[in-house]
Chains A and B, each alone.
Chain A
Amino acid sequence: MRRARVIYKGAVVEAYEHERGLRLADGRIVTEDEVEWLPPVQPQTIFTLGLNYADHAAELSFEAPKEPLVFLKGPNTLVGHKGETRRPNDVTFMHYECELAVVIGKSGKQIKAERAYDYVAGYTVVNDYALRDYLENYYRPNLRVKNRDACTPIGPWFVPKHHVEDPMNLTLRTYINGDVKQEGSTRDMVFSIPELIEHLSSFMTLNEGDLILTGTPKGSVDTKVGDVVVTEVEGIGALENTIVGDESFHRS
């Protein structure tokens, strides 16, 4: 069953899908608009993949990497479903990245690809925004681009792995204000989920609760203040986020 973490009447509770909205762990049934959505998982280490779809790499004029291009981000980046993400006024190109996120279920090191799914707890959806104006060629993509507060919407659901028949064959779609802008499939990843788990655990321990953001296919276009961006992964969920401007933060 797909599950979420929400705030209802001032308390954090676990919630499940229900025909009338959400069923809270304590039995109450509420509508989706009555709750504030939190990130469905609280990860420790967050791994992110750059250029993990060949068509997206080509779109950004890069060759697909020979080894996974991995970087890390902090928990300050996460924001729940129906959250807001700031677009600073000096930014000319801020694009979404619809991604399947893998939640690690148990710790391991030197995991072989054949056994990798044993270490997966489930999946969720992320939108890993990039503010390209802030890109610098030092530890690129640098944290000023990728580690901003609320720049990584996540959710709405955590989906246990047994609900997902083949995570390597899911359609990804991004909509801006209802129009499809990006479409791809997880089968086009350069490095598959098992390969990523094998690679990362070959040199460091993966821990329960770690999160791997598996990259985005081509179709990244600019977003504007006021845009409602929905990133959707087939069977996992549709994650909504709204772009807000500096004015909301009293920045000039």
Chain B
Amino acid sequence: MKQLFVKMRGVEQPLHGQWKEGHDQVEVNGLDYSIDTFPFDLPTAGTVFGTLLNYKKEYERLAPKMNEAPYNAPPKAPILYVKPINTLLAHQLPIPLPTGYEEVTVGATIGLVIGRRATRLSKEEALSYVKGYTLVNDVSLPHESVHRPAVKEKARDGFCPIGPWIVAHDESMNPNDWTITVRINGEVKQTIRTNELIRNVETLLEEVTDFMTLSEGDVLLIGVEGDLPVARANDLVTIDCPAIGTLENRVMEEKVIKEVYV
């Protein structure tokens, strides 16, 4: 049984939940709900930091160019970026496809939710600062170059679905041995194994908190794997990790979403 932190739409306080891997029911504050119909809100509230080039396949793809301009050398320290608040989106809400664009890339990843202010952690203690894990879709407009910050590609409204909940960390969990599956309209498009990380979760936390503090509630994304799946208007994107749950959002044209809400 997984212990959950659940945020329900319209309820300010976070709720306590329980869920058994694979089940389609979730218990929230003692009551059973269908996962399909529960109104999940964004489960996190802090700053979301993404990590670039932290999977072997993603790294190897760029490796032949790393000694050429504009990169000139392989990366040394973790390369991070911010997913600002306008990007954050709850489970089941539509991802806006900006007008004039045909497709987005799906960056399925795990968010480490920080439990207490973390500065200069050692690998050994790192996981004790993690409150839990959530699923994140680090959506982007397709782009090849990673030379300059990809704000225009990665910081669009609704480009960072998070959820459906936070699974509380406990000592039996090993986030370096999980599988993430991406399906588009039900068809498997990508399988990611976290044992393919270049810096595993503990090492990433150690190296990141050496130069910057992660605060309670902040979310550190462990990275996205190369060959990102692509989604177009009306595609249903499902990100599944048996240890955490399922995050699902449909891509919809921005102008259609406007009509839905107005």
Chain A positions near chain B (C-beta within 8 angstroms): 44-45, 47, 69-77, 109, 134, 136-144, 147-149, 203-205, 207
In the bound complex, do residue A72 and residue B77 qualify as a contact, i.e. CB atoms below 8 Å apart? no
In the bound complex, residues from chain B placing their C-beta under 8 Å from that of A47 are 151
Given contacts A76-B212, A147-B80, A148-B211, A137 and B72 within 8 Å (CB-CB): yes
Query: Cα distance A207–B218 when bound, in Å?
Result: 19
Chief secondary structure at chain B's binding surface: loop
Given contacts A45-B85, A144-B211, A149-B213, A139 and B149 within 8 Å (CB-CB): yes
Q: How far is the CB of B168 from chain A (nearest CB, A)?
A: 24
Interfacial residues of chain B within 136-158, with CB under 8 A of chain A in the complex: 146-152, 155-157
Q: Could you list 20 A-B pairs, sorted by A, with CB under 8 Å? A: A47-B151, A70-B152, A71-B149, A71-B151, A72-B84, A72-B151, A76-B47, A137-B147, A138-B52, A138-B53, A140-B147, A140-B148, A142-B79, A144-B78, A147-B80, A147-B211, A149-B119, A149-B211, A204-B87, A205-B157
In the bound complex, do residue A74 and residue B212 qualify as a contact, i.e. CB atoms below 8 Å apart? yes
Interfacial residues of chain B within 85-105, with CB under 8 A of chain A in the complex: 85-87, 98
Q: How far is the CB of B189 from chain A (nearest CB, A)?
A: 25
Query: Cα distance A138–B72 when bound, in Å?
Result: 10
Tell yes or no: B23 within 8 A of A by CB: no
In the bound complex, do residue A136 and residue B79 qualify as a contact, i.e. CB atoms below 8 Å apart? yes
Interfacial residues of chain B within 48-80, with CB under 8 A of chain A in the complex: 49, 52-53, 70-73, 75-80
In the bound complex, do residue B86 and residue A205 qualify as a contact, i.e. CB atoms below 8 Å apart? yes
Query: Cα distance A158–B137 when bound, in Å?
Result: 36
Report how many residues on chain B are interfacial, defined by Cβ distance under 8 Å.
Answer: 38
In the bound complex, do residue B52 and residue A139 qualify as a contact, i.e. CB atoms below 8 Å apart? yes
In the bound complex, do residue A144 and residue B77 qualify as a contact, i.e. CB atoms below 8 Å apart? yes
In the bound complex, residues from chain A placing their C-beta under 8 Å from that of B76 are 136
In the bound complex, residues from chain A placing their C-beta under 8 Å from that of B73 are 136-137
Query: Cα distance A144–B87 when bound, in Å?
Result: 23
Tell yes or no: B178 within 8 A of A by CB: no
In the bound complex, residues from chain B placing their C-beta under 8 Å from that of A148 are 211-212
